[in-house]
């Protein structure tokens, strides 16, 4: 069972190999997809359709209400 990830900063979320990569201020933070159950974004985060396809196959993405 994976953990919940919270993204509080503005940045870009993308797929890097079979991991998630969050880029902020020129620095990369890698999140292993096997250990991610869900993702909450509390700020402006850029994504692309390749990432959405990858997430649809591997994790659940939720937007806070």
How far apart CA 48 and CA 46 sit, in angstroms, is: 7
Predicted pLDDT of residue 43: 93
Predicted pLDDT of residue 36: 82
Predicted pLDDT of residue 65: 54
Nearest to 19 by CA among 7, 28, 31, 4: 31
Query: Mean pLDDT across the stretch 47-64?
Result: 78
User: Does the structure show a pLDDT above 60 at 18?
Assistant: yes
User: Does the structure show a pLDDT above 70 at 20?
Assistant: yes
């Amino acid at each position: 069972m994976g953990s919940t990830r919270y993204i509080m900063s503005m940045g870009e979320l993308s797929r890097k190999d079979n991991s998630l990569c969050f880029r902020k201020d020129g620095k990369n933070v890698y999140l292993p997809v096997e250990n991610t159950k869900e993702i909450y974004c509390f700020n402006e985060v850029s994504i692309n359709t390749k990432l959405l396809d990858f997430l649809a196959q591997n994790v659940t993405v939720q937007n806070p209400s």
